[in-house]
A = this chain, B = another copy of it.
Amino acid sequence: MSVLEPTERTRLRRRANRAHYEREVIDAILDEALICHVGFSVNGQPFVLPTIHARIGDRLYVHGSVSARMLKVLGSGAPACVTATLLDGLVLARAGFHHTMNYRSVVLFGTAEQVSDHAEKRAALDAIVDHVVRGRSAAVRAPTAAELQATAVLRLPISEASAKIRTGFSVESEEDLAWPCWAGVLPLRLVASVPLPDPHLAPGIAVPPELAHYERAALG
């Protein structure tokens, strides 16, 4: 199994027991998270914007309009931080101080590169569609030349990253255990409800099974 070398930026200094540097762990979180939050700075002011991403092997891709600030700033080589977070549960303790959440997160540092190669760009855009619904890129109308030209795709190497995972119940001192309030974990997950057909949906097209029974990867 591939394990990333912790760097000054990715080594967890606090709660190091929650840190994971195995690519398998990092990739699984990136793949399950529908979106990530991308950080970049403009004149010292940080910006954090939600966006969809997709992974192909050792590369993380994000995309957007060629006119979007995030794509322009990151595409010019500004340092980036990409964070993906999955909430797995609320950890209810007896003391306010010991409340926490169960989560799995990845923080990835790097410098993005513009994807100019046509085949790589197509593959990245297909991967982004398939990241949302497995196999969907094969069913949809392929991008036109104008759509490809209007879309910027950026690539980040998955080489400097760490995962942080918390699981289980609260950790409390012996004397607090008798405090008379309920304590435990309330598991959380992102679920889909019934698909809503587009008002212009052509007749006779059924909801595909991957949408009728939509699930991100099972929670740990």
Q: Which residues of A contact B (CB under 8 A)?
A: 9, 13-14, 34-35, 37-41, 44-50, 52, 65, 67-69, 79-83, 85, 87, 90, 92-97, 99, 101, 103, 105, 107, 109, 125-126, 129, 132-133, 136-137, 139-144, 147, 151, 169-170, 172, 176-202, 205-208, 211, 214
Contacts and interface: CB of A to CB of B under 8 A. Distances in A.
Contact of A140 (B48, B101, B142, B181): B181
A191 B74 CA distance: 34
B182 A192 contact: no
A75 to B, nearest CB: 15
A80 B46 contact: yes
Contacts of A97: 143-144, 147, 151
Contact of A39 (B46, B69, B95, B200): B46
A51 B217 CA distance: 23
Contact of A45 (B9, B90, B133, B169): B9
Most chain B beta-carbon contacts within 10 A, residue among A81, A144, A211, A214: A81
Contacts of A79: 44-46
B182 A147 contact: no
A141 B96 contact: yes
